[in-house]
Structure formats: C-alpha cells, structure tokens
Structure 1
C-alpha cells in the first residue's frame, strides 16, 4: 500500500465527500435543544445509512435508553488475529446562537474555495466523514474486501450536551465495544502545515450558583444598605475565584494536578505558537491566565475556573432601583490529569459556603457528575503507529504532540474498555467551533482520510498484544 495509491483514491472521491457533507450539515441535530431532538435522530439515521453505503455489514441506531440516538457500526476483518479498533465521535452539534452573527444560514452549507462553512462542519461531521472516506481508500489501496483491522464505530448523539448519559450507554452495550485500541476523531491540529496529535484533553465540572436574599425585590432607597444584597455577594464570589497571579482559590484545587515535567515543557516549546495570532483568532485584546505558564500550557495542561454567565436583578432599559431577591453565576472548571471532578465539586461547594454572607442562602446545581481528564502516554505502540500514519499523510513531516483545552467523554470510554486511546483529528484553531460561522478546510479532511487509510494498516502490522501495551518506548 503506497501513499500515492491512497491519495489517488481520495482525490477521486472529493466530490462524493463534499456532497455527503453538504447533505448531512443540513440536519440541525442540536442535542441541547429539546425541540431539535427529532433532528438528532435524523442525523443519526443519516450517518447510519452512510456507514451502510460504505460497506459496514452491521449498523445499528442505539436509542434503547435515556440517551439521544447513537450510531454503532461494525465491520470485522477476515483476518481472525486482527486487532479491533473502536472509533469514537459524535454527530450532534452545538446551538447556533447568536444567529445574527452568522454571515450565512448555519444549516445551509456554503463553499468558498477550500472552506465549507456550517454548524458541525468541523465539529464533528466533517471529521467523521473523512473516516468513512479513509476506510474506502484503505480497501482500494490494499485490494482487501474487509479492513485490515476489525472496525467498530461508536458515534454519540449527546456530546455537545455534556454526554449526560454516556456512561449508561457504555454500560448497556458493554459487550459490543470490546477493542484493543480507541481512536478519537473529535480534535484538531496546530496548523494546516504542522501535523500534530492531541495527547490530552481536560476534564470539566459545570454548575450554577444561586444566591437568594430577601423573598422579594426591595426598594433600594428604603432597604438598600440595611439588608444583604445577593447580587453584591455574587460579584464578590466571582472576584474571589482567582488571586492576583491568576491562580484558582478553590480549596484543594491544585492538590492532585499532574505538574508539567521539563520534558513536557520542552515538547510544548517545540509547538509553533504565536500569541499575536492567537489573540487575533480569539478576537481578544490581551492575554490572561496563571502566571509562569505559556499560552499553550495554560489551555492544554493547567486547570482553570471561568465565569460563563452572571444574572440577577433588573436587566431592562432604564432604572429600577431595587435590592434584588436573587442572583446567579454559571461557573465551569477545566481539569487536568489526576484531578477528580467530584473532589473539585466538593471544594467549590466549600468555597461558595465560605463566601455566602449572613442573610443570603446559596445553592449549587451541578450539570451532571462532570467529565474526567484524559492523558495519552507518548511512545506507546499505538501512539507510534498513529504518528507514523499521520506523517505519511503529510509527506513525512514530523508529528508533534499537543494537548486540547476542551473536554469530552474520552476518559469514560477509556475506563470502560480498559485499552490505550489515541486521537486523530484535523480541525484547525480558526474553525470557530461552538461559535458563529463554523468552518472546515476540505484539504484537512482529505489529509485526515489519508491518515485513516494508513492507520488501519499500521495497527494491523503492530498487532493486538502490542497495541494493548501502555509501555513507552523512544518517541
């Protein structure tokens, strides 16, 4: 199997990939919005049909639990000793708000040269379609009638809602997802000309803190200055989250953090990074964060606390001079290796209690149990096979390790199956995922397809026992 044979097939199938992408992106499968749940089902059924068209003999839509429909597909290799690979991704998409900031209809895909713009183009529909194309290229280039590895796809329908039922789904179908290695395709690369692979994703805990003061809004002239104000308590809590050095002040927040080694920091330093360009993509005017760490280290390997939204009291035009009855703040905490969501949540509860003044009642509503962080050891046989496949797709370029600042259910999946996990994703930093005007570069999808075609052959050559090993060798 040669790179030329794979690339020739991928080049010849560009029109098919684009047509499929256009059709799928028109389905507004927003899992966070109940009135779109039927569209989530349509999205699952669309991908299930696409998997059947690709050749998967077993394709199922799993809707037998509280979760939104997920897709399972399986294609067994005719080699009885072949490794089994589980590919994870998601077919649901983020809400499109604020709609007025989109330049085009988010569910009417537009093409401008190499760019396709629509909600879900990069996260995660385009990335799932490059896997289907890569499998076809693998079969064509090898002349095989079945993949060189047994392939299983698990495509979730609730990832953009925090995967609230993912552990239940895994438990319900535990007998179907046994594998030797997991490949996650919901991440990106540093730049179009800098191939890389994610080696860690942060965990997350999300909740809403509510402060209740008087049982009704009060006239601020009659009662202001004489009764506690929940909006003021809210502001003081938010301001106390960080010290002057950007460190989070939650009790025990850093106790379990896996600190960066000198080798880790050297690897981060090798990743091309331009803070000016970062600010341009972020449309921000300044950097901020924990002292003593670079921008890449802050977003990939350090835990954070963020205020996601604040409310309370009168929000309309003009004046309404009151002491409000209630105020709230939405908080999220990104976690890194070794941090436990439950322990962080307990620390947050202690912190809120300590910052609740007399006369105010505070409460916290958590959005699920949180997501655990995930860290991929470098130099394992699975990692080496992955980087070799990516390198082949990028004409022999070095593949750099990087870490993803976002969060997902990968740790739960890895814990469920108990095997190594690696990441193959081709999104770019300027894809504006979760934001208006999301896009994907078609050229990156083609490279992803090539890498996929190489990867199944590399995994087959590596073998089941080696893929299951977590022993590190020279990178």
Structure 2
C-alpha cells in the first residue's frame, strides 16, 4: 500500500506557521483548566472546559456549537455543513477531560501551567486529548484559508466527550439520545498516537474488552487443614485450577467458542506490521519484563494488536499474613479480563465463561461471576476509501510513507461505529514518549502542527475521492 506522498500545499503550511503563536496561546489557556472528570471537586472545571471549547468553536466559525448535558460531565457538539450537499459528513471525536495530576506526582513543573521547553509543550492534557482536539480547529482554518472556501469541503461535526478518562459511563446513552444529530458517513477519532517521532502511522483497529470477578465459596468458615484438608473442597485450590486451565500448552484460550468468527490477520497486514522498526528488547524494557510469551505462531505485535487474550488480573484467597496458617480457606477470588478482536461477541464469551466455570468446579464449591460490562473491538478495513484519504493526507503532511498499526487497548470507537453505523478512522499524532496519564505529559510541537496540516488536507481529499452515497 506504499505510495509516493503528494507535495505539501505551501498556503496550508504558511497559514499554520503564521498562526503558531496564537494557537499555542489558545491551547495553553485550555490546558490551564483542570478538567479532571474523576474528581467530583473538579466538576465546575470540567464544565468550564466545555464552555471554553464551545466558545472557541463559535469563534472559529462553526455555526452550531452546543453543550450537551449527560448524567455526568457535559460533552460539546459542533457542526459546520459543507456548501456541497453531495459531500460526505465526517464526525470528529475526542475528549476534553483529563487525568488527575499534581506537582508531587513527579512533575517538573505545575501540571496545569503549560510550559514550552525544547520544542515540546508540557501540561496535563497536552497530548491526551486537548492538543489533538484543538489541532483540528487550526487545520480547518488552514483548509479554508488555502482554498478560499467559506465552508469546508465536507460537512464536519465534532463530538468532544467530558468523561472519557472516567470510563465514558454516560457516553452510550448520549449517542442514543442524539443519534440523528450525529448522523455521518465516517468518524475520525483523534485520541490515539503514532509509532514514534520518525515513523508516522495510522491506527486501524482497537481491541474490545470484557472483564469479571469470580467469587468462590467453600466451607462456611476457615477450617483446620490437618483435620479437614484433603477431604473437603478448597476454594483457593479451585481458583488456581481455573486460572491454570484458562490456556492450553500453546497459550490459546480454552473457553469453548472463544475464537469463533474472529477476523484473522491477512498476509498483507502481517507484512505491514513486520515493516515497523520494532525493537523487542526495548519493548521488553518498557514492559518491565524479561521475556515475551503468548499465543504460539504470532509475533509480539500481532499478539498485542490483533489476537484475543485472556489474562488473570488477580487471584486471592485464604491467609495472606506473615508466617503460616494451616487452614482450608472459606473463600477465594479470581479476576479475569478478555481482550477481543473483530468478529468476537463479548456476550457469547461471557456465557461461555459461565458454563466453563460451572462444569469445572466440584460439588461443595459455590460461585458467583460478576461482569463489569463490555467494550467492543473496532477495525478499519485497509482498502476503505476514507482510510486511503487519511493515509494520503498524512503522507502529504509528513512527506513520507505512512505505515499502519493497531492498538491493544480499548476505547469508545466501537460505540461510535455501532451507534452510527459508519466506519471509524484514527488520526492521532501523539507518540509513546508523550507520557499519557503519567507525570510530565507533553506533546511534540512539530508533530502537533503536522496533525493540523493532515486535517487541512483530509477534507479536500475526502471530498475528491470518496462519495459515501
């Protein structure tokens, strides 16, 4: 899928360069608002962040910019129709809430007082996700200035959530309430990143997630292991047996039907992953691990991006204090999570786990399984014309071939896809060193402005090459 990037548009680059200082001043103003959705004491700040964005969108030229209320924190919606009624409509998703941060966490400067140092902007939310939301506004303005348009080449909508860092608890309901207003032909998610500073990439998929807790109950109380051990069922032993039985000798998940329907990696995708400059030793250092291990027949990147997994997140039961205590414990607990890929059904996996556990436990062990919901996987086909437009736009901005990645984590992209029935594209320019959720979060300014340039080119390319109808 390699192509020679088109040359950049000097008018776009000049506009972005000339607006650099004003843009960074605006972004810094927004970053000073500590919109921490997880902290009830910051609820007013989260609302202030939404108000700031809605006002800025109106000043940018959006004829519609609204605050959408939820049972939690507010979201922001904006809309700017194209003057071409046949042009596709694109919805840009991001979030304006941020993770908690304070100087004593290890920050080198106040986390909500942005600092520009060595070509980087340091502040909570600089990369995740305020910077990546705001570059769309600069890109749109550059698009209009370079083309002389008074409206964008495609109809653009924005939905900027206020609770992503708290698990998006009210996001599905928000989508259901406003499905008609959000109607579009494609979604662009700008809450992801690239491989690194020198290797620009487009993410094409995220895994889904379902996780649970299994509580096991044996004797009515802890009992003496000398008097009763080996003659009554031990819930801690059964928790360990369940954990051990979760994978076979090839590290494949043993739940019946677990792999049914999955979208397998194509040879083209495997080849594209293999092109990436992956340093496994460096990756292991990041993982704080001594060796790789996983499903046989797949590389490390394939395992974390494109294969489903089952993980034991925690196992507990019985005596945990110093020294020994010779008991058969009364209870034990197992916490599991399953990362899913395209084609899997989280509800079927939950049902399979219920049946699997029930058939493996002996008489005398009672159990309860509690699931905490599910997030569905999301995958963009490599041959989708909108993805090709995004790849061309990014290649034009960066002046080099764009490669493809996926992400092993999960997010709300599938909620958007399922609610709106359209493909999801990922446009993110953050890099691993940006330190999402960590002290000294930053954004590389050169990449931030490349993101704006990509957005400026994207709208023309979509209008020219893709008719969603």
Q: Work out whether the TM-score is over 0.5.
A: yes
1:435 Cα deviation after fit: 4.4
Distance 1:324 1:102 in 2: 44
CA–CA distance in structure 2, aligned partners of residues 167 and 360 of structure 1: 37
**d(CA) in 2 for partners of 1:85 and 1:437?**
33
Is 1:24 equivalent to 2:27 in the alignment? no
What secondary structure does 1:77 align onto? coil
Residue aligned with 2:432, SS: coil
**Structure 2 residue 300 is matched with structure 1 residue 295:** yes
Specify every segment of 5 or more residues in structure 1 that has no aligned partner in the other structure, as ranges: 469-475
**Native 8 Å contact 2:8 2:396 kept in 1:** no
- SS of equivalent residue, structure 1 residue 467: coil
Counterpart in the other structure of 2:10: 4
**More deviation in 191-200 or 243-252?**
243-252
Structure 1 match to 2:379: 375
Aligned to 1:345: 350
1:361 is aligned to 2:366? yes
Shift of 1:452: 0.3
1:189 aligns to 2:190 (yes or no): no
The reply to whether residue 145 of structure 1 matches residue 150 of structure 2 is yes
2: CA distance, partners of 1:325 / 1:99: 41
Using the alignment, how far apart are the partners of 1:45 and 1:141 within structure 2?
Answer: 29
Does the 8 A contact of 1:99 with 1:436 survive in 2?
Answer: no
Query: 1:130·1:449 contact (CA, 8 Å) conserved in 2?
Result: yes
- CA apart distance, 1:371: 1.6
Determine the structure 2 residue equivalent to 1:473.
none
Structure 2 counterpart of 1:432: 435
Q: Is the 8 A contact 1:198 1:423 kept in 2?
A: yes
Describe the superposition over 1:398-446 as per-residue Cα deviations: whole angstroms up to 9, x where unpaired: 1122212121222221232223332211121333334454432222111
Counterpart position of 2:394: 390
Equivalent position to 2:57, from 46, 51, 54: 51
Tell me the residue number matched to 1:471. none
For residues 335 and 42 of structure 2, the distance between their equivalents in structure 1, rounded to whole angstroms, comes to 24
SS in structure 2 opposite 1:257? coil
Contact 2:243/2:312 (8 A) holds in 1: yes
Q: Output the CA distance in 1 between the equivalents of 2:106 and 2:51.
A: 30
User: Would the alpha carbon gap of residues 45 and 312 (structure 1) be closer, same or farther in structure 2, given more than 3 Å must change?
Assistant: farther
Counterpart secondary structure, 2:165: helix
The alignment status of 1:449 with 2:459, answered yes or no, reads: no
SS for the counterpart of 1:73 is strand
Counterparts in 2 of 1:268 and 1:20: CA distance versus 1, 3 Å: same
User: Aligned in 2, Cα 1:97/1:204: closer, same or farther, shift over 3 Å?
Assistant: farther
- After superposition, the Cα gap between the structure-2 partners of 1:87 and 1:304, relative to the gap in structure 1 and judged at 3 Å, is same
TM-score (norm 1): 0.87
C-alpha displacement at 1:221, in angstroms?
7.1
Instruction: Tell me which residue corresponds to 1:177.
Output: 182
Secondary structure of residue in 1 paired with 2:333: strand
Deviation at 1:345, TM superposition (A): 1.4
1:96-129, Cα deviation, whole Å (9 max, x unpaired): 6997566665545444323334443322222111
Q: Which runs of 5+ in 2 are unaligned?
A: 1-6
Of 415-424 and 221-230, deviating more is: 221-230
TM-score, normalised to structure 2, is 0.88
Which residue is 2:468 aligned to?
A: 467
TM superposition shift of 1:455: 0.7
> Does structure 1 retain, via aligned residues, the 8 Å contact 2:316–2:333?
yes
Deviations 1:329-358 (A, max 9, x none): 332211111011111111222233344444
Moved more, 48-57 or 89-98: 89-98
Moved more, 48-57 or 226-235: 226-235
Q: Answer whether contact 2:102 2:111 (CA < 8 A) is retained.
A: no
Question: 1:391 Cα deviation (Å)?
Answer: 0.7
Matches of 2:198 and 2:296, distance apart in 1: 30
Contact 1:281/1:430 (<8 A) preserved: no
- Residues 67 and 166 of structure 1 are in contact (CA less than 8 Å); yes or no, is this contact kept in structure 2? no
| Partner in structure 2 of residue 68 of structure 1 | 73
Alpha-carbon shift at residue 35 of structure 1 (Å): 5.0
Contact 1:391 1:399 in 2 (8 A): yes
Q: 2:411 matched to 1:408? A: yes
Question: Contact (CA 8 Å) 1:381, 1:467: kept in 2 or not?
Answer: no
Q: Is the 8 A contact 2:216 2:332 kept in 1?
A: yes
Contact 2:189–2:425 (CA under 8 A) maintained in structure 1: yes
CA distance in 1, matches of 2:209, 2:61: 37
Cα distance, 1:324 vs structure 2: 4.8
